[in-house]
Amino acid sequence: MLTLFNIDTADVDGVSIKLEGRKLGDANNDGSITTADAFLIVKARFNQISFTENQRFYADVNNDGSLTTADAFLLVKQRFGQVDHYYQPK
């Protein structure tokens, strides 16, 4: 919950809130989806690196609960415009 104090509501004629979260697939949390994220996913898949739970969440782009090469492949498809940023076919 967000609470704002000491605001004179007489001076407010509108409220706009924009929330921007981390992009799904942004495994390295650099703000963009790149092949570097796909590479990290593959490395995590084959236990060459370990992901935090948060990284696992953002790397599981097909939302099946596990990290596989399918996540990396889907991310590459998104990167090259074959699926949209929701990882749905265009």
Write out the residues near Ca ion by the rule CB under 5 A. 26, 28, 30, 37, 60, 62, 64, 71
Least distance (Å) from Ca ion to the CB of residue 3? 33
Spatial CA neighbour of 64 closest among 45, 47, 89: 45
Least distance (Å) from Ca ion to the CB of residue 18? 21
Least distance (Å) from Ca ion to the CB of residue 17? 25
User: Which of 16/33 has CB closer to Ca ion?
Assistant: 33
Q: How far is CA 23 from CA 12, 31, 77, 86, in A?
A: 32, 7, 15, 9
User: Which of 71/87 has CB closer to Ca ion?
Assistant: 71
Least distance (Å) from Ca ion to the CB of residue 51? 12
Angle, in degrees to the nearest 10, between helices 35-45 and 69-79: 180
